[in-house]
Amino acid sequence: MSRLATPIRRNDNVLVITGKDRGKRGRVLKVLPRDGGDTIRLIVEGVNMIKRHTKPNPGKGVKGGIVEREASLHASNVQLVCPECGAQTRVGHKILGDGRKVRICRKCEGVVDK
């Protein structure tokens, strides 16, 4: 099986480019692992909100009711927002002089990694 890596990591700012929340920006809270398939899913803060009906569970301290939370969305439906130029961009890679491999913005050539 080929290892498909996503250019998007946790705490990156992304822009949703398709779907019901198109145009929204948010921070990636979690990158979900693949379950044997090649799909990569993300949970983005404030995007793709769903209502979940939960049963009360006093043992775990869960109150019952309707809980609104973020659902996952496919990584192909978002694009990284460059922290330097603020534009949505594709991600490139570059090896720096000290030997580190970093992600770069394809538009301004700025380094995306801290």
Domain map of the chain by residue range? 1-81, 86-114
The C-alpha atoms of residue 90 and residue 10 are separated, in whole angstroms, by: 16
Dmax over Cα atoms in the chain, in whole Å?
56
CA-CA-CA-CA torsion sign (10, 40, 24, 29)? negative
Please, what CATH class does the domain formed by 1-81 belong to?
mainly beta
| DSSP state letter for 57 | B
The angle at the Cα of 72, spanning 29 to 1, to the nearest 5 degrees, equals 95
pLDDT in tens, 4-16: 567 899 999 999 9
Structure confidence at residue 29 (pLDDT) = 96
Residue type at 27 in one-letter notation: R
Q: What percent of the chain has pLDDT over 90?
A: 81
| Mean pLDDT, rounded, of the chain | 90
pLDDT in tens, 21-53: 999 999 999 998 877 767 789 999 999 999 999
